[in-house]
Amino acid sequence: MNNRDTTVENGLPVIDLKDYLSGQSASRGPFVADLCDAYETIGFVGVKGHGVEESLVRVMYEAAWRFVGLPDEVKARYHRADLFGQRGYTPKLQEHAKGASVGDLKEFYHIGREASCSQSEDAGYPENVWPDEVPEFRDHAINLFEALETLGHHMLGAIFQGLGVKDRSILEATRLGNSVLRVAHYFGIDDPDSIPEGAVRAAPHGDINLITLLVGASSEGLELLRRDGTWWPVSVSPDTIVVNVGDMLERLTNGRLRSTIHRVVNPPRETLSEARLSMPFFMHPKASMDLSVIPSCLSDNDAKRYADISAGEFLDQRLGEIGLK
């Protein structure tokens, strides 16, 4: 990081969004500079002052624990194979990291924008799938989705400001996008010898989307890959939301902002039976958004690292690579 007094939690830079939301250029400038510095060097940052109420997170986690505790055959009723894992329940071991030969030791539930609220050129998002057994799941998920999306818009605004982007169409393409809230359940395993060879809770991967916002994981396990090739545990206080760069944003910036490889490791053998729950919010733009490099990130001396592609085409490509489509 730079010479400003940036807070650090276990090696991760942490910035306060209230400095940006104050509207004062004296605090906005340093916030934007610290944010872009972190994303150019680490790809991850912790955010305080984010405005996401703890009560929203708590009640959603309570509802999520109730759902994942249902029998597998009940949860399977909410699996929609025709939606390629983009809504509803995805069973254990189905998703795998790009290039991996074995599925991750997790199951998950995806919540998207309510189709009735999709007043955009990309109207037609699939309907959400809601579990009858946990009726409160729906309202809590929608409330948390909206709160995290608001935070995501603030973060993208600061990122694009730091990149010198004046083209408003880029920001507009991130509004009413195809974002997804994931309830990720890394289930407990009683017999360690039953684990498929090489299987982990989440194999090393980069996220597909623009940015990912991770709120309130129930236990540790997330690690990111440093430039020196070592793995770095990510551990922050409960009131800190971790926000990382995804592959789409790396493409837009020609690699200037880093989509850092990360993973979720298995716990020690003696605690393998203890489950882990996390809720990443994957912020996507509209499918029609052009992921061509932002002009300010491509000088005359820079080679263009990525082929032109739309966000929808890129998502389809990656869903195939990770076993969902």
* Total number of domains in the chain: 1
pTM of the predicted model as reported, rounded to 2 decimal places:
0.93
CB 178, CB 315: distance < 8 Å: yes
pLDDT at 183: 98
User: Each residue of 64-109: pLDDT tens digit?
Assistant: 999 999 999 999 999 999 999 999 999 999 999 998 989 999 999 9
| pLDDT above 50 (res 121) | no
The answer to whether residue 157 is domain-embedded is yes
Question: Which CATH number characterizes residue 188's domain?
Answer: 2.60.120.330
The answer to whether residue 2 is domain-embedded is no
Closest among 226, 263, 210, 211 to 42, alpha carbons compared: 226
| pLDDT above 90 (res 125) | no
Which amino acid type is present at position 134? V
Three-state SS annotation for 253-281: CCCCCCCCCEEECCCCHHHCCCCEEEEEE
- Reduced DSSP (H G I as helix, E B as strand, rest coil) percent helix, strand, coil of the chain, to 5: 35, 20, 50
Q: Binning pLDDT at 50, 70 and 90, where does residue 258 land? A: very high
Say what percent of the chain tops pLDDT 70.
95
| pLDDT above 70 (res 149) | yes
Neighbours of 213 (CB within 10 A): 24
What distance, in Å, lies between the first and last C-alpha atoms of the chain?
39
Strands (E), 10-135: 12-16, 44-48, 88-90, 107-112
The answer to whether residue 1 is domain-embedded is no
Residue with tokens 């986690």: 61
Choose between 123 and 217: higher pLDDT.
217
Structure tokens at 63: 């509802």
CB 45, CB 279: distance < 8 Å: no
Strand 211-215 relative to strand 241-245, pairing: antiparallel
Q: Binning pLDDT at 50, 70 and 90, where does residue 174 land? A: confident
Q: Which helix (H) or strand (E) holds 160?
A: helix 136-162
Which residues does 298 contact at the CB level (< 8 Å), separation at least 6?
Answer: 254, 304
Say what percent of the chain tops pLDDT 90.
76
Classified as helix, coil or strand, 244 is strand
The answer to whether residue 307 is domain-embedded is yes
The answer to whether residue 216 is domain-embedded is yes
| pLDDT above 50 (res 265) | yes
C-alpha to C-alpha distance for 177 and 322, rounded to whole angstroms: 21
Which amino acid type is present at position 268? P
pLDDT at 6: 58
User: Each residue of 26-71: pLDDT tens digit?
Assistant: 778 899 999 999 999 999 999 999 999 999 999 999 999 999 999 9
C-alpha to C-alpha distance for 222 and 234, rounded to whole angstroms: 6
The answer to whether residue 73 is domain-embedded is yes
Classified as helix, coil or strand, 174 is coil
C-alpha to C-alpha distance for 297 and 305, rounded to whole angstroms: 11
Residue with tokens 């906005």: 28
Domain range enclosing 118 = 7-321
